[in-house]
Structure 1
Amino acid sequence: MSSILVILVDKQYPMSADIQTIGDIRRFNRFYTGMIGLLNQHILESNLSLSEVRVLYEIGQQDKCTAGQLIAALKIDGGYLSRMLKKFEKEGWLSRQQSTGDGRTFFLHLTNSGKKMLAGLDEKSTEEIRQLVDPLPEKQQQQVAGAMKTIQEVLSAPSVAPVADIHFRYNLLPGDVGYLIYLHGHLYARESGYNLEFEAYVCKTFYEFLPTYNPAKDRIFLATVDNQIVGAVAILGSSRHLAQLRWFIIHPDYRGRGLGKKLLEQALDFCREKHYQKVYLMTTSMQETAIALYKRAGFRKTGEKYLQQWGQQLYEQRYDMELF
């Protein structure tokens, strides 16, 4: 929503950086911040700071937003966030709803007043950008937008390895299970609002699996970058003809790159190699992206039941796929 773009350059820049390039970036930074009025104390003629606008916008984008999710997404100090939220409540922009499944969890929602105020800021931001680019011909408008998109993509890219740098292995090493439990607990809390009961559930499933782990019938598929797990799926042999797909997860930084599809294909190829006739999985209705991938691979929903667990009200679903 915000029209603000800032490129920060650390004074201790790498020696490999060209001095002319750094100078150009710094000049652009000064030019653009001046152009949009970033040096003003408040944003869009409101009494809000940039950080406060970002927090309000993030709350408005999520159905079940928690303070923990805001801290993770915005890299914001917990104490500073707490003071912001109290201010928003005092202004009548924010309400808190206690989770029915976990009394320690509170979901943050914008009130009607908060939504109206945020919509007003959004309109002002849109108008600000319109005034900035309207004097330009359409082709130049597209050039400006394209250049900004390029800046975002290039400066975001170093944190994510190229697809060619993703490696796969199919054996469990010490520490793998602990990290997979952490990844499930952290991501499902952040993205689905699950509480600690879910992490305990994942712990239990691995505890039950490890003593019976047999590479002749079971396989873990791990995608790694610099020896760090960024994706995983597993096939567990349930019987001679039936297998279960479990623990399918992709780190957010590596989604949308075909990694999930590749892991799923490897898992199904293993099932065929071991002559399993059917493979099934259990999921919930909240995992819409994963379900779409399962369906494209050939899975069909065969069961569903309503549950209240992990701090959520959801539908547990079973999907099956015939292999032969």
Structure 2
Amino acid sequence: MNNKLKNEIGTIRSFNRFYTNVLGLLDQHILESTFSLSEVRVLHEIEKIEKCTSKKLSEILCMDAGYLSRILKKFEKYGMIEKRRTPEDARAYFLYVTQIGKEKMNELNACSDEQIFNLIHPLTEEEQSRLVRNMTSIENILTEGKRIKFEDITIRHDVRAGDAGYITYLHGLIYKQEYNYSIAFEGYVAQSFCEFLLNYNPNCDRLWLAEYYGEVIGCIGVVGHGDRAQLRWFLLHPNYRGIGLGKRLLNCALSYCREKGFKFVFLDTTNDLETAIAMYTKAGFIKVAEKKNNSWREDLTELEFEMQL
């Protein structure tokens, strides 16, 4: 284990100690109730999981079956859950939260909301947003984005301070990691945004930004040139691909071009962006030109696509 990894592990463990202390997770009873953190989590999962069984609970929570059984007996004793035989197997039971259990969960949820409110209330609005973004990033990284919900992604088209700089940063980072482009490419993107911002015309130019809990995760832009529109800066963060976001952004841009009465829309790309090229072709774009471009990497071919609207 090298020193860098040791330091990272130490930082994570330090954060874990800090956060469990902040939320009082080491207390025997959580939120000043008669229940432990494990018990509250079990009750929450029973309420959330459809056709919940003790086996499914044990697998999801990675909890010992004997320990889980004792918790379930306690809940039954207090009338907080009930068991109903499954139609498929008379020996198995579905678990349901009773009205008493739901009232207790509502009480605990209210206490938890108040606890978090007291924690973040002293923070500024920007600090609160940054805290949520960072927590969301932690969850996405550790679950490989499996919990991302499309409905939690928003798309806006008002250009705000810092947008162009952050998108330029994403282009430089992602194209270096995935295609080994040089920093000259980031300079090219920065120059294109400089021209866009200095000559921005809301009647024919637009920039869309996809956000996930306030973090910019994708973008696409349109720049007007007379009766032709240029499609630019089409980019998705790797963690948010494969969920239909790229198609949605492209449709936003093409709908805008039709709405503004452009006769043609064109774009420049490179031969190694196969996924994007497939999407353009499917949308109706046709390749009209190509030329060698070694500005960002050797053996690169620049392609121009066009579509009549």
- TM-score tier, shorter chain, comes to 0.5 to 0.7
Match of 1:307 in 2: 293
Answer yes or no: is the 8 Å Cα contact 1:160–1:254 preserved in 2: no
Answer yes or no: is the 8 Å Cα contact 2:145–2:239 preserved in 1: no
Match of 2:89 in 1: none
Q: CA deviation at 1:156?
A: 1.4
Which of the numbers 226, 238, 244 marks the counterpart of 2:225?
Answer: 238
Aligned CA distance change for structure 1 residues 206 and 155 (closer, same or farther; 3 Å) = closer
CA distance in 2, matches of 1:177, 1:160: 28
Q: Secondary structure at the match of 1:210?
A: helix
Hey, which bits of structure 1, 4+ residues long, moved more than 6 A? 8-11
Which of the numbers 317, 320, 324 marks the counterpart of 2:303?
Answer: 317
Match of 2:206 in 1: 219
2:246 pairs with 1:254: no
Considering Cα pairs closer than 8 Å and 6+ residues apart, tell me whether 1 or 2 has the greater RCO.
Answer: 1
Match of 2:108 in 1: none
1:317 aligned partner, one-letter code: L
1:170 aligned partner, one-letter code: H
Match of 1:172 in 2: 159
CA distance in 2, matches of 1:158, 1:244: 32
Aligned CA distance change for structure 1 residues 216 and 320 (closer, same or farther; 3 Å) = same
Answer yes or no: is the 8 Å Cα contact 2:145–2:240 preserved in 1: no
Output the TM-score relative to the length of structure 2. Answer: 0.56
Match of 2:113 in 1: none
Aligned CA distance change for structure 1 residues 277 and 308 (closer, same or farther; 3 Å) = same
Aligned CA distance change for structure 1 residues 304 and 277 (closer, same or farther; 3 Å) = same
Q: Deviations over 1:202-228 (max 9, x none)?
A: 111111111110111101111101111
State, as a whole percentage, how many aligned pairs show the same letter: 41
Aligned CA distance change for structure 1 residues 220 and 178 (closer, same or farther; 3 Å) = same
Equivalent residue pairs, number: 188
2:269 aligned partner, one-letter code: T
2:283 pairs with 1:297: yes
Aligned CA distance change for structure 1 residues 157 and 216 (closer, same or farther; 3 Å) = same
Match of 1:266 in 2: 252
Aligned CA distance change for structure 1 residues 24 and 277 (closer, same or farther; 3 Å) = farther
Output the TM-score relative to the length of structure 1. Answer: 0.54
Q: CA deviation at 1:308?
A: 1.3
1:289 aligned partner, one-letter code: T
Aligned CA distance change for structure 1 residues 218 and 154 (closer, same or farther; 3 Å) = closer
Task: List alignment gaps of at least 5 residues for structure 1.
Answer: 1-7, 26-152
CA distance in 1, matches of 2:144, 2:268: 34
Aligned CA distance change for structure 1 residues 257 and 309 (closer, same or farther; 3 Å) = same
RMSD between aligned residues: 2.7
Match of 1:124 in 2: none
2:229 aligned partner, one-letter code: A
Matches within 5 A, 1:43-122: none
Answer yes or no: is the 8 Å Cα contact 1:279–1:322 preserved in 2: yes
1:263 aligned partner, one-letter code: L
Q: Max radius of gyration: which structure? A: 2
Which of the numbers 181, 184, 188 marks the counterpart of 1:197?
Answer: 184
